[in-house]
A and B are shown apart, each in its own frame.
Chain A
């Protein structure tokens, strides 16, 4: 009798232990991994949300100044685009739009730095009939999805008389050189009474062939532009520039050899 009861208890005991082991197995191989997996996926989702928020913030904060300018004749079918990056991260330019045509220079500007996109050929867009006039609107698109228009928009080209245009009273000084390596220039603009002399230091980078600065002037009148090497040696002195409302934006080309 005792032996029979003992066997009966053992049977249910072994089955209980097996059942418990299987239950624990299910817990550790199915339920807990599922729980951990769901947590991991949720973390991934949260990280994506945070990263996209950061991505959008960077897009909102991205700021660059764009100045498009044509080269002097006979290369006046080339546009150069000077870009000043005012954003503390690298900015990548993916496209340059000139009116409804685009160019893909794939150009990068370091944080808070500047750069020059050179020799955008618009020869097929220039008017071909004598006296015909055409306006050009230039904008650039960045990899973050922002578009920035050139401050010198619109650039106007008249067949026979060349480039003019830009809004506001400005003098654009373009220094072209065939010298390789880094060069520094000093641009001095003097003008009518009441206009203090304006000094600007301009850098040409080693891989570039020209550099650019814009001087905004407050009044109409006769101005003079002097361009020097960094050492003080004069390249061109007292170039006369007349700025008035009919010619609000003047281009000055200086060849530094």
Chain B
């Protein structure tokens, strides 16, 4: 009966509960925000590094070049393949052909890249017109990760 009428002791208890509740709510909110931010940081950091790893792991060569009287046929081989990392596909976005400083022709595949799987190869055809025997060409192929390969070709006639 005395407990019910003695209200002096109740206020500090209620205040303590409220204070603890506020601290808990603020703390959980802060923890939740930090957790979410750190997860996003992890994901974006991994994606950035993975992109760099793909770029430095990409390996391709111009394996063979042939000329048919009007077109240059270029075979590109994706040989980038290490066991634990697995092979990565490459997207060929452009191929251009030069004779010295003279531009002969190019193909741009940026809107529809040629995808070459690991350990696979693909043929690209570039229209360049008529060549003379002994003409020395430079073929330049670019991937979607901005890696380049160059190859020279001497038309035997």
A31 to B121, CA, bound (A): 45
Closest to B62 in A: A147
The number of chain B residues touching the other chain, given as a range, is 35 or more
Chain B residues with Cβ below 8 Å from A7 are 12-13, 16
Contact with B along A220-257 (1 / 0, CB 8 A): 00000000000000000000000000000000000000
B154 at the interface (CB under 8 A from A): no
B45 x A38 contact (CB < 8 A): yes
CB-CB contacts below 8 Å: A5-39 with B: 7-8, 10-11, 14-15, 18-19, 21-23, 25-26, 29-31, 33-34, 37-38
Task: Tell me, rounded to whole Å, the shortest Cβ–Cβ distance linking B121 to chain A.
Answer: 8
A145 to B23, CA, bound (A): 63
A11 x B30 contact (CB < 8 A): no
A125 at the interface (CB under 8 A from B): no
A94 to B119, CA, bound (A): 9
Cβ 8 A contact of B82, one of A45, A52, A95: A52
Chain B residues with Cβ below 8 Å from A42 are 49
Chain A residues with Cβ below 8 Å from B73 are 100
Contact status of A26 and B12, CB under 8 A, knowing A33-B38, A145-B61 = no
State the interface size on chain A (CB cutoff 8 A): 40
Cβ 8 A contact of A11, one of B19, B27, B49, B53: B19
B84 x A30 contact (CB < 8 A): no
CB-CB contacts below 8 Å: B24-58 with A: 24, 27-28, 30-31, 34-35, 37-38, 41-42, 45-46, 49, 52-53, 56-57
Chain B residues with Cβ below 8 Å from A25 are 27, 31
A49 to B82, CA, bound (A): 11
Cβ 8 A contact of A34, one of B27, B42, B77, B85: B42
Chain A residues with Cβ below 8 Å from B77 are 94, 141, 145
Chain A residues with Cβ below 8 Å from B119 are 94, 143
A29 to B28, CA, bound (A): 12
Determine chain B's interface SS by DSSP, over half rule.
helix
B35 x A45 contact (CB < 8 A): no
Chain B residues with Cβ below 8 Å from A48 are 53, 56-57, 85
Task: Tell me, rounded to whole Å, the shortest Cβ–Cβ distance linking A155 to chain B.
Answer: 15
B45 x A41 contact (CB < 8 A): yes
Task: Tell me, rounded to whole Å, the shortest Cβ–Cβ distance linking A58 to chain B.
Answer: 10
A4 at the interface (CB under 8 A from B): yes
Cβ 8 A contact of B66, one of A41, A49, A100, A143: A100
Cβ 8 A contact of A30, one of B20, B31, B81: B31
Task: Tell me, rounded to whole Å, the shortest Cβ–Cβ distance linking A27 to chain B.
Answer: 9
A195 at the interface (CB under 8 A from B): no
Chain A residues with Cβ below 8 Å from B110 are none
Q: List 5 A-B contacts (CB under 8 A).
A: A15-B19, A19-B23, A37-B46, A51-B85, A147-B63
Interface residues of B (CB under 8 A from A): 12-13, 15-16, 19-20, 23-24, 27-28, 30-31, 34-35, 37-38, 41-42, 45-46, 49, 52-53, 56-57, 59-61, 63-64, 66, 73, 75, 77, 79, 81-82, 84-85, 119, 121
Q: A18-B23, A26-B34, A144-B79 are in contact. List 19 more A-B contacts (CB 8 A).
A: A15-B19, A19-B23, A23-B27, A26-B35, A30-B35, A31-B38, A38-B42, A38-B45, A41-B45, A41-B46, A45-B49, A51-B82, A51-B84, A52-B59, A55-B59, A94-B119, A95-B63, A100-B64, A145-B79
Interface residues of A (CB under 8 A from B): 4, 7-8, 10-11, 14-15, 18-19, 21-23, 25-26, 29-31, 33-34, 37-38, 41-42, 44-45, 48-49, 51-52, 55, 94-95, 97, 100, 102, 141, 143-145, 147
